[in-house]
Amino acid sequence: MNTINSLLEKIENAKALDFGTILNESIELFKKTWLQGFLLQLFTIILVMPLIVVLYLPLIGVLIAQQEGDTSGFESFNGFFVGMSLLYVLIVIVGVFVFAAISVALNAAFFRIMKKLDYNEAVTTSDFFFFVKAKHLSKIFVLMLASFGIAILAALLCYFPIFYVIIPLSYFSLMYAFNPELSVGEIVKASFKLGHKKWLITFGVIMVASMLSQLVGFLLCGVGIFFTASFVYHPTYFIYKKVIGFKRTDAIDEIGILSE
C-alpha cells in the first residue's frame, strides 16, 4: 500500500525514461491486452447507449407531435421544450455524470487488467467491474468532478493551460486504479506531481500511441479502431510502473491474507 508521501518521494526521485523503451514495451504488452481492450470499448458502447436514447428522446417527441398535429416543425419543437426543457436537461446532466463515473471505473479496472497480463496472471471478464461498486463509484464521482472543474478552469484561462493539465488529468484513473485507498485530494496531488515530472515524455508517447492506434485501426477497414483504441493507455501504465512501481504479493502472502 502506497502512502501519499512515498508516492511523491518516488516521483521526485524518478530517473529519466527512454521514449523508445516505453513505446516498445507498450507494443509488446498490447499483444497480450488487445482482446481486453476491445471488451473495454464494447462495454463503453453498451454503457453509452441509454444516454444516446435520452439525448434523442426530444427529437422523437417532435416527430410524434408533427405527425399528430398541424403545427410547423418549429412550433412543435418549441412547444415540446416548453414542458420538457428543465426535466430533459436534468436527465441529461445526471446521465452524463453517471456515464462518466462508470467509464472512469472501467478504465481504472483496465489498468489493473493490464498489470495482471503484464505479470502473466489470469484475468476474467468480471475484472472489468472491480470498481463498479458503491464504495468506489462515490470516490470516482468526486474525482471526476475535480477533473471536470480543473479542465473548465484551464479552458477559461485562454485554453493554453489545458495543454498542460491534460497530462496530469490522464493519470487520474491510473493513479486511482493502484491507489484506491488514497483520498481524492491525494490522488489529484500525486497525478499532477507525476504529470508535471514526466510531462514531455508523456505527451510525446501518448501522441505517437494515439496516431498509431488510429492508423492501424484505419488500415483494418475502420472497425479495427475498436481493437486498437486501448493502445493509448499502455504508455502511461509503463511510465507509472517505472516511476512508482508495484509491490507484488507472492502466493504464500496471498494465502496468509485470505486466511485472516
Share of the chain above pLDDT 90, in %: 58
pLDDT tens digit string along 95-141? 788 888 899 999 999 999 999 999 999 999 999 999 998 889 999 99
Give the pLDDT score at 124.
93
Mean pLDDT lowest among 6-20, 49-63, 157-171: 49-63
Tell me, what's the pLDDT at 162? 86
At 255 the pLDDT is 43
All cell numbers assigned to 172: 487520474
With 60 as the cut, is the pLDDT of residue 79 above it?
Answer: no
Read off the pLDDT band of 91 (50, 70, 90). Answer: confident
Instruction: Report pLDDT digits (tens) over 234-251.
Output: 999 999 999 999 876 544
The average pLDDT across 218-224 equals: 81
Span between the terminal Cα atoms of the chain, in Å:
18
- Cell, residue 175: 493513479
DSSP string covering 243-259, please? HT------HHHHHHHHH
**pLDDT higher than 70, residue 74:** no
Rounded mean pLDDT, 204-228: 89
CA distance 181 to 31: 31
Q: Is-contact 108 240, C-beta < 8 A?
A: no
Determine the pLDDT at residue 250: 42
Closest CA to 211 of 223, 203, 201: 203
Q: What is the pLDDT of residue 75?
A: 57
Which amino acid is located at 27 in the chain? I
Bigger pLDDT: 17 or 221?
17
What is the CA angle 156-162-167, rounded to 5?
Answer: 150
Question: Which of 13-17, 49-53, 61-65, 114-118 is predicted with the least confidence, judged by mean pLDDT?
Answer: 61-65
pLDDT band at 78 (very low <50, low <70, confident <90, very high): low
pTM, rounded to two decimals:
0.84
- Residues with Cβ < 8 Å from 105, sequence gap 6 or more? 129, 131, 132, 136, 137, 140
How many Å is the maximal CA-CA distance in the chain? 76
